[in-house]
Structure 1
Amino acid sequence: MNISVLGCGRWGAFLAWYVSHIGHKVMLWGRANSDNLKELRINRSNQYLKLSRDVELTDSLEKAITFGDIILISISAQKLRDFSKRLKEVGNLENKKYVLCMKGLESSTGKRLSQVFKEEMGFGIKSAVWLGPGHVQDFLKGIPNCMVIGSEDIELTKIIVNALNSDLIRFYYGQDLIGNEVGAATKNVIGIAAGMLDGLGYSSLKGALMARGTREISKLVRAMGGNDITIYGLSHLGDYEATLFSENSHNRQFGEDFVKNIKFEKLAEGVSTIEALSILSSKYNIELPICKALYEVIFNNKDAAKELLDLFLRPVKFEFI
């Protein structure tokens, strides 16, 4: 099967490596002025991996769309709307299967990425999401993990899972698109909180953060029409180890660096997700204490130690009411 990967950052390059590794023909697209693409063209490698000669590199979006039966999209979540408009201008979009391979919510609207994609591309487009735990560094060491493919069409989900499944990544069928997308996006937010706790020397509170984080987000998912149990699956709780504890997690590292006043140079999608959650909290009238505390710290310059400790030292109450 021909698979195109759009986006050649850390995860996009890995996706190209992975689908080539399991036997597909692969084309990897990047912007003509992308430093990532330039490095791959010169060395066939980046700081994480080396691509085989079988992976074709291109800066032609039209060529990449024409080539792929399945199109994997791995770009910044906040750029998806504009990128989707660009895709639509390219044309030749029919009979393609699109898979969104990033985690986030649109910061200006709170919308899920699958909603953004369909609004711009048309609701007849076949699309799915690829979510769940796993770091490039671990996969390249041969360490396996479990992930999720989800869509509104179970037959599409099955086709994509069958194409992508391997001993390195075992896929599950996502049964709740709302819960999976919101869960995947918000685990990055909990990851930022975990990093702040690490940076402040309060790492022992990460257990409480995990317990309260899942509870908080499950209420939001239920209010949005999803299944609150989904939050306890792979897309959210199942991704906590890779996000709240790993040195490879950009979001956890962002949180730690933030409280230490160290500038973080890489992409931490959870920051934009915090903005989106502020919108969703108001829209659905759901209290999101962790998300609110992070918003106050990052966007209103409130004291991180005070805001985070107040989360766990709130007035005495029953745990599960």
Structure 2
Amino acid sequence: MNISVLGCGRWGTFLAWYANKVGHNVMLWGRENSRNFIGLKETRSNDYLSLSEDVELTNSLEKAILFAEIIIISISAQELRSFANQLSSLNETQGKTFILCMKGLEANSGKRLSQVFREEVGKNVNLAVWVGPGHVQDFVNNIPNCMVIGSDNIEVTKRIVQELNSDLIRFYYGQDLIGNEIGAAAKNVMGIAAGMLDGLNYSSLKGSLMARGTKEISRLVRAMGGNDVTVYGLSHLGDFEATLFSDHSHNRKFGQALVEGKRFGKLAEGVATVKALDELSKQYDVQLPICNALFEIIFENKNAEETLKDLFLRPVKFEF
């Protein structure tokens, strides 16, 4: 099968590498002047992996869409609306299957990425999300993991899983798009909180963060019409090891750098997601104490140590 990957950052390049590894013809698209694309054109490699000569590189969006039946998108979540709008002007999108491989929410509206994509591209495409735990650094060293493909059409989900399943990534069928998307985005927020706890030498509180954070997000998912049990699956709780405890996690490292007064130069999607969850908390009238505390620390310059201690050591109350 022909598969195109749009976006040649760390994860997008891995997805092209993986789709090629499991036997597909792959085209990888990147912006002509992006540092990642220029590097791949010159050396066919980045800091994490080398691409086979079989993977074709292109900076033509039209060519990438025409080439493939399945199109994987891996860009910054906050760029998705303008990017999808650009795709909507191409007639070749009709009937194609798109997979969104980002974990985020639109910061200002709180909308899920599948909603954003549908608003711009329309209903005449198949749409799925690919979420769950896994780091490029582990996969390229042949360390396997389990991930989720979710869509609102089980036949689309099954077809994608059939084409992409392997011993390296074992896929599960996601049956709750709301829960999978909110859960996947929110785990990055919990990752930032975990990094803050690490930076403050309160790492032992990460167990409380996991328990209370998962409960908090499950309440939101239920209020939005999703299944509150979904967040206890791979898209959220199952991704905590890769986000709350991993040296590879950008979100955890961002949180740690913030409380240590250092600068972290890489993309941490969870920062925009904090804004989105604050918006959803208001829209659905659901209390999100952890997300709210992070909003105060990141955007209102509240003291991180005091705010987090107040959060976790609140007055005595029943656990459930």
TM-score by length of 1: 0.99
Structure 1 stretch displaced more, 122-131 or 206-215 = 122-131
Structure 1 stretch displaced more, 282-291 or 87-96 = 87-96
Are residues 1:270 and 2:279 paired? no
Q: Distance in 2 between the 1:10 and 1:126 partners?
A: 25
What code does the residue aligned with 1:208 have? S
Tell me the alpha carbon deviations over residues 162-198 of structure 1, each in whole angstroms, 9 at most, x when there is no partner: 0110000000000100000000000000000000000
Are residues 1:62 and 2:77 paired? no
Structure 1 runs, 4 residues or longer, greater than 3 Å off: none
Q: How far 1:124 moved relative to its partner?
A: 2.6
Q: How far 1:65 moved relative to its partner?
A: 0.2
What SS is found at the alignment partner of 1:3? strand
Q: Distance in 2 between the 1:123 and 1:258 partners?
A: 41
Q: Distance in 2 between the 1:77 and 1:283 partners?
A: 20
When the two chains are superposed, the root-mean-square deviation of aligned CA atoms in Å is: 0.5
Q: How far 1:227 moved relative to its partner?
A: 0.3
Q: 1:224 aligns to what?
A: 224
TM-score by length of 2: 0.99
Q: 2:170 aligns to what?
A: 170
Q: 2:252 aligns to what?
A: 252
Q: Distance in 2 between the 1:170 and 1:180 partners?
A: 17
What code does the residue aligned with 2:155 have? E
What SS is found at the alignment partner of 1:92? helix
Contact preservation (8 Å) 2:132, 2:148: yes
Q: Distance in 2 between the 1:310 and 1:15 partners?
A: 41
Q: Distance in 2 between the 1:270 and 1:123 partners?
A: 28
What SS is found at the alignment partner of 1:99? strand
Q: 1:235 aligns to what?
A: 235
What SS is found at the alignment partner of 2:92? coil
Q: How far 1:95 moved relative to its partner?
A: 2.1
Matches for 1:38-187 after TM superposition, within 5 Å: 38-187=38-187
Q: How many residues align?
A: 320
Q: 2:295 aligns to what?
A: 295
Q: Distance in 2 between the 1:193 and 1:266 partners?
A: 17
What code does the residue aligned with 1:287 have? Q
What code does the residue aligned with 2:285 have? N
What code does the residue aligned with 1:157 have? T
Q: 1:6 aligns to what?
A: 6
What SS is found at the alignment partner of 1:23? coil
What SS is found at the alignment partner of 2:257? helix
Q: How far 1:90 moved relative to its partner?
A: 2.2
Q: Distance in 2 between the 1:264 and 1:196 partners?
A: 13
What SS is found at the alignment partner of 1:228? coil
What code does the residue aligned with 1:98 have? F
What code does the residue aligned with 1:213 have? G
Q: Distance in 2 between the 1:143 and 1:106 partners?
A: 32
Q: How far 1:273 moved relative to its partner?
A: 0.3
Tell me the alpha carbon deviations over residues 268-313 of structure 1, each in whole angstroms, 9 at most, x when there is no partner: 0000000001110001110000000000000000000011111111
Q: How far 1:261 moved relative to its partner?
A: 1.1
